Amino acid sequence: MNTPDIRFNISSSPHFRGKLTTRGIMLDVLIALVPVCAAGIFAFGISALIVILICTLSCVAFEFLYEKLMRLPVTVGDLSAAVTGVILAINLPSTVPLWIPVVGSAFAIIITKMLFGGLGHNFMNPALSARVFLLISFAGIMTAYPTTVRLITTFKQVVSEATPLAAIGNGEEINWLTTLTEMHTGCIGEASVIAILIGAAYLLIRRTIAARIPFTYIISTAVFVILILVIKGDTQLINVNYIVAQICGGGLLLGAFFMATDYVTNPSTPLGQFIFAVLLGLITAIIRLISSSAEGVSYAIIIGNMLSPLIDRLLTPSYFGKRSKPIVNEG
């Protein structure tokens, strides 16, 4: 009697059954990033467009060349490299020297992604790992934000000496409505809250991402900011202007909707994702209010990525028919 030939297809995470493909998901992310990029180009000019183009082309080129040299199947058609390039670009100031996007792209694709096996095997978000690498290596360049941006409402030039987070850190007054509706300085992708929310709405409507991680992350950050202010005795800062600036004045919205939701680098269970997002909020609040850095989103997500396997391990459900604890024979 011949036994049937049963073969199992073992593939890397994420494991989803459905009509969605990797290319389709990445295309949705690219579409959602269009208003973010457009706002950044409008705010910071042609230099922002050049940074976006260099990052995107460099990431695609490095992935193509690596796979050709290693005699691996070429996977640039899945658009994941393009998404990495765009996300890296919007996390850079528009004023960086043009070799910075190239170095960052090489680190993101070769070091973080390809050396660990390609898409699905990277243990942290490639674009954010590259940004953190660049921040540590070239801190002065990476924090030299442009001093002029345009307002959406009036279409005129204004001078902005600091990002909203840096401004509130220096004790300056910021109106919450201005933070929400007007463009401000910072990285390319941080120019417009409205543009970020338009892209986020597209991803949520398309069900490319779930609301659990981004909204838990945002709410947790606000809660922990308030708790830390109470512990420090700075309760006079707890007001609408300060909290809105913490949520909308830096990279929190961008990170919550476009980076923390990466399928590969966050936990796979709903409870694990909730814990992951709360952890991100805690780390972000601590870095912003206790350390010397005005921003903490990139570091928080990277740390969360590295802890995701541990969270999954602790919360992995038992196999059907298998007890979670051994039976103790009391007879």
Q: Across residues 233-258, what is the average pLDDT? A: 90
The first and second tokens of residue 314, run together, are 């602790």
Cα 53–chain centre separation: 19
- Residue 291's pLDDT is 83
d(CA 308, CA 49): 34
* Number of Cα atoms under 13 Å in the Cβ half of residue 230: 6
| Closest among 157, 164, 191, 197 to 40, alpha carbons compared | 191
d(CA 34, CA 324): 47
- Residue 127's pLDDT is 94
How confident is residue 330, by pLDDT bands cut at 50, 70 and 90? very low
Q: Across residues 68-83, what is the average pLDDT? A: 93
Q: Between 274 and 250, where is the model more confident?
A: 274
- Residue 181's pLDDT is 81
- Residue 133's pLDDT is 95
* Alpha helix ranges (H) inside the chain: 22-44, 46-69, 80-90, 99-106, 126-137, 139-142, 164-169, 176-181, 193-205, 212-232, 240-248, 252-258, 270-290, 297-315
87-96, 174-183, 244-253, 303-312: which has the minimum mean pLDDT? 174-183
Return the sign of the alpha-carbon dihedral for residues 272, 22, 73, 8. Answer: positive
Q: Between 47 and 324, where is the model more confident?
A: 47
Q: Taking all residues of the chain, what is their mean pLDDT, rounded to a whole number?
A: 86
**3-state SS class at 249:** coil
Angle at 108 between CA 107 and CA 114, to 5 degrees: 95
- For residue 319, pLDDT over 90 is answered with no
Percent of residues, the chain, with pLDDT higher than 70: 85
Residues ≥6 apart with Cβ < 8 Å to 273:
210, 212, 213, 216, 266, 267
- For residue 148, pLDDT over 80 is answered with no
DSSP annotation of 4 reads: P
- Residue 2's pLDDT is 55
Q: Across residues 224-239, what is the average pLDDT? A: 91
d(CA 199, CA 63): 26
End-to-end CA distance of the chain: 45
- Residue 70's pLDDT is 93
Q: Per-residue pLDDT tens for 279-306? A: 999 999 999 999 877 788 999 999 999 9
Q: Across residues 242-271, what is the average pLDDT? A: 91
d(CA 4, CA 60): 42
How confident is residue 18, by pLDDT bands cut at 50, 70 and 90? low
How confident is residue 17, by pLDDT bands cut at 50, 70 and 90? low
13-17, 133-137, 166-170, 198-202: which has the minimum mean pLDDT? 13-17
| Closest among 84, 77, 78, 66 to 122, alpha carbons compared | 84
The values of phi and psi at residue 148, to 5°, are -130, 135
Q: Is the peptide bond before 14 cis (omega within 30 degrees of 0)?
A: yes
Q: Across residues 158-175, what is the average pLDDT? A: 70
Q: Across residues 14-28, what is the average pLDDT? A: 75
- For residue 50, pLDDT over 90 is answered with yes
- Residue 172's pLDDT is 75
